[in-house]
Structure 1
Amino acid sequence: MQTPLSSNDAITVRDLQKIYRIREGGSWRGKTRDILALNGISFSIPKGQIAGFIGPNGAGKSTAIKILSGILRPSSGEVRVNGLIPWANRVEHVARIGVVFGQRTQLWWDLSVGEGLALLRDIYGVDSGRFARNRARLADALDLGGIMDQSVRQLSLGQRMRAEIAASLIHDPDILILDEPTIGLDAPSKLAVRAFVHELCRDRGTTVLLTTHDMHDIEALAERVIVIGHGRILADSPFEDLRTTTLSERILELDFNGTPPELTLPTGATETTRTPHSLTITFDPHQIPAPALVAHVGQLPGLDDVRVSRPSIDEIITRFYADHAA
């Protein structure tokens, strides 16, 4: 049963399909075959939400993003972004969205950042007063003051990505699509970008669709994760739900001031790593709760430190992909 369109949704996708027809053999006379990139995917994103959109290479992410951006036309299905059909209402559509492609630039290499923003002002028809306010706000939030007069080709990757985000927001879009926004950035630059996106959503109610291979971006930003694979939606839930259903095990790390002793573990716990001064135990908290396991090993001779943790987001997503491999 189809869910009715909601005025609270910034993005609505229904039964979206995209088929690429390719010609084999490198000749226009060669045989053709169809590649199903998107196989009837459906989802919606409410206004003001940060949603992660993830999947392995070849899953269909880029195709979906290009359709949402108005770059591609689907083979079938329904898409509404801010109530508009992206490929049919392109001029109005692009005026209301911002897009950052981590490996492509929308600024001009030989222009300064300030000149590039001014050119985008003219392209989007932003009046001078609003442009001045937005430029000042973005320069302050993204620490662009020192690079406004530098050409884009002279910028470091971190500086360029901050400038790209400013360029995508100079016209006050309602929706921001981020495709690999922190690719290649150092740790301080990643933290700065994440903090800015959080503030943007909190203070201005901007809807954000984030696609990335950096799972720490997803963990830090996304209220919800949509997982795509083989052109289909494999999961759509808060990340904690994905963690619970995919890899609920916990990790107990034990440090010793000498050689770790041999030990017998209760059902649900397994020794996974042993070094000259440490042990790592993986356990299922549904079979053996963490406090009970810690109490079980707490009296071991030479025990120096105990840490309980969860698997990393990378481990969880890797396991999820493996479980859904074709």
Structure 2
Amino acid sequence: MENAIVVKGLKKEFKSYSSRSGLKGAFRDLFTRNYKIISAVDDISFTVRKGEMVGYIGENGAGKSTTIKMLTGILTPTEGNIVVNGMNPHKEREKFVQTIGVVFGQRSQLWWDIAVQESFQLLKKVYNVPDDVYEEHMNLVIETLDIKPLLDKPVRKLSLGQRMRCELAAALVHNPPLLFLDEPTIGLDVLVKLKIRQFLKEINEKFNTTILLTTHDLSDIEALCERVVMLDEGKIIYDGALQDLKKNWGDFKELEFQFIETPEVSALEELTRDLKVDWTLDGVAGSYRALIESRDDLVSELIGRIVTAYKVKDMKVNETNTEEIIRNIYEKGMSHG
């Protein structure tokens, strides 16, 4: 199976300038400026196979968008090699952009004041898509994304959910083999998200479209991607199956206790010290959450101790979800997994 994306030793550094204080400092700044080098992406390597759907995740400032901008040819790397669809995105720009689709949740590629279908027609000309190919492909896209009623409307009249569905359609006018999605469901309601996810699955199955998805919404990742690449401070800290991540890190149970009289967290920690329990107080619900290794003997021992020592009003056992697993990894580092 061929690779759609090959990244080796990729780095992107930015200069951050700082001003000196006072008139004297301002004068000195005219001749020499103080700066420090900031690494947004720090020596990363990964490959994405054709037809794969990969989640590219990390906290704000981890380097996700910088990577996407280098992979799409918007930014030049400081160091390292990138081959996307068999080309160097920066050097073979014109030929390269014909083979990718990009959706940035925060930026539009549609023309604000003209009808949506006029934007599509302009993009069709930009990409030299033959009429018959366009008709057949776009009819499918328009129907699946349910945007037919929106085609005559100017973009500025659309809601965010409507606009994002049209943005996705615009990125697919030329049916590219590779799609970059940067926060495509940001601010959307649940029904629109489900529609977009369903659509992405369909184009992946029908056209074997490769999809690289960055998002803060981990339910997008769970619904679409079998593999995740996780970034922290510009470095890859995990690259592998989402299932393995859940198996290694999701091997925890969360117990929620509501007490008649709320005890001090220090007292709970003392009582369960040898069981290695992480206690947190949920201020809103007024309940305590205990995170413990998912072993039946430990869980029943924990419940036994708590019920013996305190009057418990209510108790729930939750499996940990992907969001908590990721948060755990960021807080405690990868060494656990």
1:167-213 residue CA offsets vs partner (Å, 9 max, x unmatched):
00110100000000000101111111111111111221110000011
Q: Deviations along 1:244-287, whole A, 9 cap, x unmatched?
A: 3335211245899x99xxxx989567886799999865431246
Q: Matches of 2:292 and 2:103 in 1, distance apart?
A: 41
Whether the 8 Å CA contact 2:226–2:243 is kept in 1: the answer is no
Q: What count of residue pairs does the alignment treat as equivalent?
A: 317
Q: Give 1:77's aligned residue.
A: 80
Calculate the aligned-residue CA RMSD, in Å: 3.4
Aligned partner of 1:123 in structure 2 is 126
- Corresponding residue number in structure 1 for 2:68: 65
Aligned match for 2:41, one of 32, 38, 46: 38
> Secondary structure at the residue paired with 2:121?
helix
Query: Identity, % of aligned pairs?
Result: 39
Match of 2:207 among 192, 201, 204: 204
Q: Which residue of 2 aligns with 1:163?
A: 166
Q: Deviations over 1:213-260 (max 9, x none)?
A: 11111121111110111111111111222233335211245899x99x
> Judging changes above 3 Å, is the alpha-carbon distance between structure 1 residues 118 and 28 closer, same or farther for their aligned structure 2 residues?
farther
> Is this contact kept in 2: 1:18–1:39, CA < 8 A?
yes
Code of the aligned partner of 1:9: N
Q: Which moved more, 1:246-255 or 1:264-273?
A: 264-273
Alignment partner, residue 318 of structure 1: 327
2-structure distance, mates of 1:281, 1:185: 32
Cα distance change, pair 111–97 in 1 and its aligned pair in 2 (3 A)? same
Mapped partners of 2:43, 2:281: distance in 1: 43
| Matches of 2:239 and 2:203, distance apart in 1 | 23
1:54 alignment partner in structure 2:
57
Instruction: Indicate if the aligned counterparts of 1:247 and 1:319 stay in contact, CA closer than 8 A.
Output: no
Match of 1:288 among 297, 319, 336: 297
> Partner residue of 1:215?
218
Match of residue 24 from structure 1: 18
2:247 corresponds to = 244
| Aligned-pair CA distance for 1:137 | 0.8
1:14 to 8, 12, 17: 8
Greater share of residues in helix = 2
Are residues 232 and 294 of structure 1, via their aligned partners in 2, closer, same or farther at CA, if it must alter by over 3 Å? closer
Residues in 2 aligned to 1:312 and 1:216: alpha-carbon distance in whole angstroms: 10
| Counterpart amino acid of residue 323 in structure 1 | K
- SS of aligned partner of 2:150: coil
- Cα displacement (A) at 1:74: 0.4
The TM-score with structure 2 as length reference comes to: 0.82
SS of the residue corresponding to residue 80 of structure 1 reads strand
Separation (CA, whole Å) in 1 of partners of 2:332 and 2:89? 34
Counterparts of 1:257-296 in structure 2, within 5 Å, are 267=275, 282-286=291-295, 288=297
1:108 maps onto 2:117 in alignment: no
Q: Distance in 2 between matches of 1:67 and 1:125?
A: 25
Q: Provide, for residues 22-47 of structure 1, a one-character-per-residue CA deviation record: whole Å limited to 9, x for no partner.
A: 33329664523221111110000111
Per the alignment, in what secondary structure is the counterpart of residue 186 of structure 2? coil
Partner of 1:4: none
Q: Which amino acid aligns with 1:34?
A: I
Separation (CA, whole Å) in 2 of partners of 1:281 and 1:61 = 32
Q: TM-score, normalised by structure 1?
A: 0.84
- Residue ranges of structure 1 left out of the alignment (5+ in a row): 1-6
**One-letter identity of the residue aligned with 1:126:** V
State the secondary structure of the residue aligned to 2:68: helix
Cα shift at 1:312: 2.6
SS at match of 2:147: coil
Residue 315 of structure 1 deviates from its aligned partner by 1.7
- Matched-pair contact (CA < 8 Å) for 1:15–1:40: yes
Aligned to 1:96: 99
Return 5+ residue gaps in structure 2 as ranges.
Answer: 20-25, 262-270
Partners of 1:74 and 1:279 in 2: how far apart? 47
Structure 1 stretch displaced more, 200-209 or 234-243: 234-243
Alpha-carbon distance in 1 for matches of 2:83, 2:58: 22
Which deviates more, 216-225 or 270-279? Answer: 270-279
Deviates more, 1:207-216 or 1:280-289: 280-289
Give, as a single letter, the amino acid of the residue that structure 2 aligns with 1:14.
Answer: K
Question: Matched residue of 1:192: which SS?
Answer: helix
Q: CA deviation at 1:314?
A: 2.0
